[in-house]
Amino acid sequence: MEAELAPLRKRITAALPKGWLAAYRKQQKYTAEVPAETAEWEVPREPPADWSKDATALLAEFWKFRIARQQEIDASIAAKADFENLYDKPYEDNKKVRVAGPFTVESLIPHRVLGVDENDELIDGVKDSVGDERDLAAMILENLCTAGVQQAHKDDRISFTSLVPWPGNLVCAEGRYLEGTQEKRSGIFIGPEFGTVSRPDLVEAAREAGDAGFDVLIACAFDYDAHSAEFEKLGRIPVLKVRMNADLHMADDLKNTGKGNLFVIFGEPDIDVLDAGDGQIEVKVNGVDVFKPQTGKVESDGPDGIACWFIDTDYNEESFFVRQAYFLGANDP
């Protein structure tokens, strides 16, 4: 079609009234470089009143070919392209997993200010952006008591029957939960709001929990360093490493319903590092360890029990940043 349309545009340009094309381009305020003859997007649908009969006839012939070209394009699309019906009010289907619903975006970390007295000396307590004193440990314990500690399976959720403050150095609370029909005592260790928990921190907290007669240490932190992943037990005291959801930074604005996954135990995988040749390695995941609150034991589960796994391709041995995420649950959320 272009073989027919290009000569027609040149003939239309030659038949136009003198100065018409230049005046039109000036009116449209064109600044980019334009061809000498009339461009396709400059050809009007109806002829202006000052056009000659020859230019008007050429315009009609141009649009005959132009419409025929568009019809061929539409026919090609209709014959080969897939189509999909879009609905703005779909029917509800409980068999499908909805990724997201209506939501709002909130500030993740509210502004912090240091409290000072009239002599500009620091005073105890961290204050939020409106000047109210904020107790991080109390806020976390309040949410922990409601939400409990989640794991891959709902049956393995640790639900506290009581959670009260404990006057320790690193252990700040005592939590009680049922192991079958027997009540167990857990020491709660809370990491810093902005920082990483290291292995020595866990060792010292576990030793304190053992001296106080606790059955297990539950460490809650936003992040752990690389070496703490290898620490799972100190003597008879199992150490459960719980990752706190970053939403807890803005817990003052959260509804404490207990439905959110605010505290999740990340199981440590059992892996084999294999030589793949050419300077490459291959990591085989044999399974993952899962804590069973019904028995108080850490049991090994196969790779089929892994709901999702993450990779940090640029790990700095301090903070784990998820750069690749793989969800294996398919239709089982």
Q: Where are the alpha helices (DSSP H) in 149-280?
A: 199-211
Other CB atoms within 10 A of residue 12 CB: 24
Residues 6+ apart with CB under 8 A from 207: 234
* 271 alpha-carbon distance from chain centroid: 26
Contacts 24+ apart (CB under 8 A), 228-233: 228/197, 228/198, 228/199, 228/201, 228/202, 229/268, 230/199, 230/268, 231/199, 231/202, 231/203, 232/268, 232/289, 232/298
Q: Radius of gyration (Cα) for the chain, nearest Å?
A: 34
* 183 alpha-carbon distance from chain centroid: 37
The domain limits of the chain are 2-80, 136-333
Judge: domain 136-333, CATH 3.30.70.
Answer: no
By C-alpha distance, which of 236, 199, 200 is closest to 217?
A: 236
145-176 residue pLDDT tens: 888 887 766 667 788 888 888 888 888 888 88
User: What tokens does 307 get?
Assistant: 């709901």
pLDDT above 90 (res 71):
yes
247-274 residue pLDDT tens: 776 655 565 555 666 777 776 678 888 9
Q: Where are the beta strands (DSSP E) in 166-215?
A: 171-179, 182-190
pLDDT band at 31; cut points 50, 70, 90: low
